[in-house]
Amino acid sequence: MEKRGLVLAYFAICLFYFIGNLYALGVSPAGRDYNFNSGLEGSVRYYVWQDDQDAELNISLKGDLAEYVNLDKTTVKGSGEFTASFKLPDKIEVPGRHRVEVIIAEKIDEEVAAQFIGTTVTVISVIDVYVPYPGRFLELSLSGDDVNSGEPVVFSLGIVSKGTELVTISPKIEVFSSKGQLVDTLQFNQRDIPSQESIVLSKVLETANLNPGKYKAIASVDYGDRATAETNFRIGSLSINILSYTNRIPIGKLEKFDVEIESGWNDYIEGAYADVVILNGTRQLTSFKTTSNNLVPWENKTITGYIDTSTFNPGIYDVNITVIYYGKEQGKSSNVLVKVEFFKGKSLLLWYIIGGIGLGIIVTLVLIRYFMGKNGRNEPFKKRFPKTK
């Protein structure tokens, strides 16, 4: 136990040591982007800060273009500045992004570090160089926010030309329902995108004639090849969906009744609770209310009520669940009629007896195996049950 305590204390010290150094080191800027040109030259001035002004930092480079980058210093004490200068070659064969990592790491005293787990505080800034693809090449990005019914969806379409040639485009956005049906098409004007340039376009989708629900938008550009991007969004209404509920309840005592609900609104819903009525045919047996909860947009939550089951007979009963809620001072409700089974639970004593018998059997088998396996201890069994010739 003492050894275990020492091990736990050791790990606790290491953890506190790590937490104490967390976020103690920073660098600015976090990164720079460049479009490749033959023989491109540039430099980045970095500022490094840390809590311990006596600590020394090591600076290093990593990446397939690291050989073309020079540092004016490779160590910094405390907080300070350094410069990374680069001169790229006339040609880079592989198109796409090439990344150089500028690594600033805490210098560790090896004689001290040998006593601890190796946790070096490190930050990384990046220099990204984008080499254009031969010919025409586009990349798209698309975003659109969730809205409530009647509110417009504003799409943002990002287009980046990563090829060596100018591209003439006429983008479009197609909007599909959750069933895959095309519900609207938004067309953009024709325009030119020069090599290694980017543009962000906006388009508005009116939702007055669209039903609440989930939708998908797909942006596309045909330029000899085809570039696409897609995003999902929701059109909400002031509604709550009942996803699930307690459908089996044991008889005999006060029992919990859960109702899982989901907001279908892109806004705040206040005071959602369920009014639960249990029926035997058309006759009301009892009713109760669940806890009241607020929901943020599109949230799932479980609300809970309690029912005294001591007077119930086993059987299946009709249960009417009505969820009542408010949003922007509007009151609404959702309602379902479901079936719930009330059943007589088995006595705990019976389970204790079954468990005790099972445990006794296991203990007996273990003891038999133990004594029969002991060297020299199985003679009584041999004498009692001699082998036959």
| Domain edges within the chain | 2-130, 138-236, 240-344, 350-384
Query: Residue 261: helix, strand or coil by DSSP?
Result: strand
Average pLDDT, the chain: 87
Q: What is the CATH T-level fold of the domain 240-344, as seen in this structure?
A: Coagulation Factor XIII; Chain A, domain 1 (2.70.50)
Q: What is the dihedral of CA 157, 162, 163, 168, to 10 degrees?
A: 20
**pLDDT at 155 exceeding the cut of 70:** yes
306-340 residue pLDDT tens: 999 999 999 999 999 999 999 887 899 999 999 99
Average pLDDT over every residue of 283-310: 96
Q: What is the CATH T-level fold of the domain 2-130, as seen in this structure?
A: Immunoglobulin-like (2.60.40)
> What is the C-alpha to C-alpha distance for residues 307 and 255, in angstroms, rounded to an integer?
5
Instruction: Answer yes or no: pTM beyond 0.95.
Output: no
User: DSSP assignment, residue 133?
Assistant: B
Q: Which CATH number fits domain 138-236: 3.30.470.20, 3.30.365.10, 2.60.40.3880, 3.40.50.1220?
A: 2.60.40.3880
Ranges assigned E (strand) in 170-314: 172-177, 182-187, 191-193, 198-205, 213-222, 226-236, 240-245, 248-251, 254-263, 269-280, 283-289, 293-295, 300-308
**pLDDT at 55 exceeding the cut of 90:** no
Closest CA to 212 of 233, 179, 234: 234
One-letter identity of residue 251: I
**pLDDT at 45 exceeding the cut of 60:** yes
